[in-house]
Structure 1
Amino acid sequence: MRLRLFPQEPAGLNLLSQMARQLVLATGTLAEILGVPATEHNRLVETMHEHEAKSSELQFALLTHMRTSFVNPLPREDMFALSRYLNEAMEKLDAAAELVALYKLERLPKRAADQLEIISRQAELTVDAMRRLNDLDELEDYWIEILRLAKRAERTHRVWVADMLKDMKSAQYARNRDVANQLVDVTKDMRRVATQVGSIIVKES
């Protein structure tokens, strides 16, 4: 059976999808930062700040839409929670980029690229999932896949930390650990988005 909420009011879902799209773009920018000399970090960090500002702008637009729209595609508390988790994920990506620049980190271990790949995949899946929240068919697969990716990110983080402890001096370890923590926290925020979607599926089924 096809489950539909209020398909006549898709604007809020489009805004959520655009927020997820900013995460895809920001992940690409952070990948660029990790691949260039430290002298180029500040320019790309400014681009990251622009992604973060756009995410906040989209969240404010969503809040305005929810206040002024008579009919919303989801309960307001669900839409607010989804926008909050997406924006918090963006803030952590922005922080990771800024830390790379502040610490002048030119070479991060391959684990950093692995985490960015996971985040990018989570964000890409979420772009599509946010658009389809007024038609809940197959979104259970989205929820399960995001949780699988989040678990993979946790394992990658543990291995990354163990490798750093083994190979790095204390100051270098501390700087790299800060970045690693921000990245794994992004995957946790994406997991919160998926868990919220799971809650919506249960409530509306």
Structure 2
Amino acid sequence: MKFRLFPQETAGLQALVSMAEHVLAGTHTLAELLGAGRSNFSSLTESLRQHEAASSANFATLLTTMRTSFINPLPREDLYALGRLLNETTEVLTGAGEIVELYTLDRVPSRVSDQLEILARQCELTLTAMKSLNDLDSLEDYWLEVLRLSKRADHTHRAVVSELLAAHSPTTFTKYRMLTDQFAAASHRIRAVATQVGSIIVKES
């Protein structure tokens, strides 16, 4: 089944693409942040805030488009859910950056970087998927692959927490635990995006 769109109805889908771009850019900025010196923490965290602000503006555009379009390319509740989850992901990524800056986490364990790498891959797939919402038949593999990656992310998160607990004092453990929990929360939201896409595929098949 191919989903047909009129050209004037694509503004909502483009807003989702833009939001997914900001999510992916946020993971790249965080990768820079984890390898940066303390003097660069403030500027990189500000970059995350800018991605979040741009995503929020895209979300507002999506809501306006949904209200003013007589025919939407997907059900309004699905468009809203996808937009909300993507926007929340940028908020979580900004929170991760602020934790690095506030607690001066300049020696992040490699396992935490592994966690971010998995998250970035989820976000890459999600951006591609948002560009393909007008061809739902092409998205089943995306849905399944993000779910597979989310399980890997959950396993990595549990391993990170275990290793942090064994290697650090309670105070240091708490700081790094906050960061790894932010990455886990972002992964869960991207999984929810994929689950929402899966629900759309089932409903529209």
Give the shorter-chain TM-score range.
over 0.9
- Residues 13 and 130 of structure 1 are in contact (CA less than 8 Å); yes or no, is this contact kept in structure 2? yes
Q: Render the CA deviation track for 1:124-168: whole Å, top value 9, x for unaligned.
A: 111121121121112110000000110000000000000001000
- Partner residue in 2 for 1:121: 121
Under a length normalisation based on structure 2, what TM-score does the superposition of the two structures give? Answer: 0.96
Q: How does 1:125-144 map to 2 (within 5 A)?
A: 125-144=125-144
SS in 2 for 1:70: coil
Mark the runs of 5 or more structure 2 residues left unpaired by the alignment: none
The 2-side partners of 1:145 and 1:59 are apart by: 26
Amino acid at match of 2:199: S
Q: CA deviation at 1:6?
A: 3.0
Distance across 1 between alignment mates of 2:6 and 2:128: 15
SS in 1 for 2:43: helix
Letter in 1 for 2:184: V
Q: What's the offset of the Cα at 1:114?
A: 1.0
Q: Render the CA deviation track for 1:51-81: whole Å, top value 9, x for unaligned.
A: 1101101000110111111111100000000
Question: Following the alignment from structure 1 to structure 2, what is the Cα–Cα distance between the partners of residues 21 and 119?
Answer: 14
Q: Does 1:49 align with 2:49?
A: yes
Distance 2:23 2:85 in 1: 12
Q: Which runs of 5+ in 1 are unaligned?
A: none
> Does the 8 A contact of 1:17 with 1:126 survive in 2?
no
Matches within 5 A, 1:172-191: 172-191=172-191
Cα separation, 2, equivalents of 1:82 and 1:76: 10
Q: Secondary structure at the match of 1:106?
A: coil
Alignment-derived partner of residue 5 in structure 2: 6
- Count matched residues: 204
Q: In structure 1, what residue type is equivalent to 2:142?
A: Y
